[in-house]
Amino acid sequence: MERSLEELLSNFQFQKVLKNDPKEKTLVILGLIDDNDAIVFLEKSHFNVDQGSFKVGDIIKEIRLINNNDVYFWSSALIKHSLPDTPSGKVNIIYPATEAHIKKYEEQRVHYITETPEMYATYVKPYIESMKGDRIKWVYNILFHGKESETFVYHDKDPDSGFVLLPDMKWDKVNMDSLYLCCIVNRCDISSIRDLNSSHISFLENLKRKIIAITCATYPIKPDELRIFVHYQPSYYHFHIHVVNLMHQGLGNGIAAGRAILLDDVIENLKLVPEYYQVRNLNYFIGENHGLWSIEGFREENAKGYSSN
């Protein structure tokens, strides 16, 4: 029997702060629930404003002046919130949390990687294979066992061209400026962009068309207001696509150069060079807690690239 969110939080015993980001207004803390590691991710919500009836006084509960100078005034304030339309924040829980989860969210130094095709074949591909199976069981639960089906925006069960489109856990499903959907494909033969070649162009173009059509029919957003992209390295190795409102800037490294690659660019690259992602170096950044950084040969090969320049 699954435990409620309230029960999990009431049993949470704080251990330490993994990350506190003042820019993204997020706090990630590590603790224990029944002697098992657990991660609680807290995020302050973006303002949800109805421009037709908005009054600033309606959302300010209490205000206290910090200082003023000429035409400038700054203060501390308590903002009125209510559920479900104007939440003050989001709370996500990972339980039981693995060591990999903890390392992912913990503050860490970051390194720039130039991954050659040879490095991919020798180090990255075996690592990817080791990260499948039970490590992405939750993905298979969504695709094939109906988990989270109540949240699906769209589900095409075709084994070759089908996919699930659903809200990402980063979105509160209230504020449209922070709209964030994830498209997870049914086919299991694509782990990352390294597996893509020109034979996948029509598949990717069809995905893009459907994602845009479904998203814009479901939500009040236009096609040219969407950022559609993939990650390399991705956070899990089953091909998936991120669909985000362009207005949503609070994604941190999720949309940074060296991580995010626009789906349109992926498609154009494959049209120019059929084996583009098999033959070129891929440049990206990873943290020291990433599993790849723990592979000595991977680090040494990356260092050689700098020493030869």
Query: How many other CB atoms sit within 10 Å of the CB of residue 123?
Result: 20
Q: Is 81 a catalytic residue?
A: no
State how beta strands 60-69 and 72-79 pair.
antiparallel
Instruction: State yes or no: 145 annotated in a binding site.
Output: no
CA angle, residues 76, 178, 30, in degrees to nearest 5: 70
Instruction: State yes or no: 152 annotated in a binding site.
Output: no
Instruction: State yes or no: 237 annotated in a binding site.
Output: yes
Instruction: State yes or no: 140 annotated in a binding site.
Output: no
Instruction: State yes or no: 242 annotated in a binding site.
Output: yes
Instruction: State yes or no: 46 annotated in a binding site.
Output: no
Instruction: State yes or no: 23 annotated in a binding site.
Output: no
Round to whole Å and give the CA distance between 138 and 122.
Answer: 28
Instruction: State yes or no: 148 annotated in a binding site.
Output: yes
Question: Two tokens at 284?
Answer: 């990206």
Of 239, 286, 229, nearest to 261 by C-alpha is 229
Instruction: State yes or no: 138 annotated in a binding site.
Output: yes
Please tell me which residue in 200, 240, 248, 290 is annotated as part of the active site.
240
Count CA atoms within 13 Å of residue 152 on its CB side.
17
CB of 66 closer than 8 Å to CB of 76:
yes
Strands (E), the chain: 13-21, 26-33, 36-44, 60-69, 72-79, 89-94, 110-115, 154-156, 163-167, 180-185, 226-231, 240-245, 260-262, 282-287
Instruction: State yes or no: 111 annotated in a binding site.
Output: no
Instruction: State yes or no: 236 annotated in a binding site.
Output: yes
Q: Mark the binding-site residues, compressed into ranges.
A: 138, 148, 168, 170, 231-242
Would you please indicate which residues are annotated as catalytic (active-site) residues? 240
Q: Mark the binding-site residues for substrate, compressed into ranges.
A: 138, 148, 168, 170, 231-242
